[in-house]
Amino acid sequence: MTYPVNIQRLIESIIEIALEEDGEDKTSTALFSDSDVLEARLIAKAEGLIAGLDIASKVFHKVDPSITFEPSVQDGFPVKDGQVLANVGGPARGILKAERVALNFLQRMSGIATATREYVDKVDGTGAIILDTRKTVPGHRVLDRMAVRIGGGKNHRMGLYDMALIKDNHIDNIGSITGAVSRLRRIYPDLPIEVEARSLSDVEELVRLGVDRIMLDNFTLNDIRSAVAMAAG
């Protein structure tokens, strides 16, 4: 799989850091020779949605490019307990060094994708979309976001640079919702804008302003219904 240059760079950096955390595998260095080879299988231990096979493959190849990684399924496919996910072969030292790091990525991403799919299925037919957030483990955002997409969700803003999110502290500093939105549009005319609403009157104002998204902060279920009706026109 190919990725945009900046995403590819982030993925490579995450993998390098993970491998650096482990350092040299002194156990395998001592107990296996350069000529020892292994064949291994990655097997699912529970039902779920698989995600991260491509990342796992990159981990093995980062440790030793001669390692073969042959997936039996593709990212985004549902798997059953006991199902073979991939076959791995090559130098024993390399496989054993890469094994845990590859599995860590695969397990985390599959867990996120599986949980996301459960929520996506629950809102199927409603028109609602499941979005992720920036509340990710530092350094893992690109992979967590990838897993959300594999699970059928959509990505919210990737960082602070690709969408403005005007919250209560911004509004209070400027003095009004309209003032904050107008100022942002003047400085960053092409930047999508989301605004946190604290009341139905805020929602009414934001609908008039035509912002890209409205965040409903601590709204009751009845107020959420009213806000959705306002936004729908």
- Give pLDDT tens digits for 147-182: 999 999 999 998 999 999 999 999 999 999 999 999
Catalytic one among 54, 99, 144, 196?
196
Catalytic one among 26, 45, 80, 135?
135
Catalytic one among 100, 122, 134, 183?
100
CB neighbourhood size of 113 (10 A): 26
Summarize pLDDT for 66-112 with one digit per residue, the tens.
Answer: 999 999 999 999 999 999 999 999 999 999 999 999 999 999 999 99
Q: Is residue 225 part of a domain?
A: yes
Output the domain CATH number for residue 117.
3.90.1170.20
Overall number of domains in the chain: 2
Tell whether the torsion through CA atoms of 90, 96, 98 and 102 is positive or negative: positive
Q: Is residue 128 part of a domain?
A: no
Q: Is residue 14 part of a domain?
A: yes
Q: Is residue 21 part of a domain?
A: yes
Q: Is residue 135 part of a domain?
A: no
Q: What is the reported pTM? A: 0.91
Q: Is residue 134 part of a domain?
A: no
Please tell me whether residues 96 and 198 are part of one structural domain: no
Domain span including residue 206: 163-232
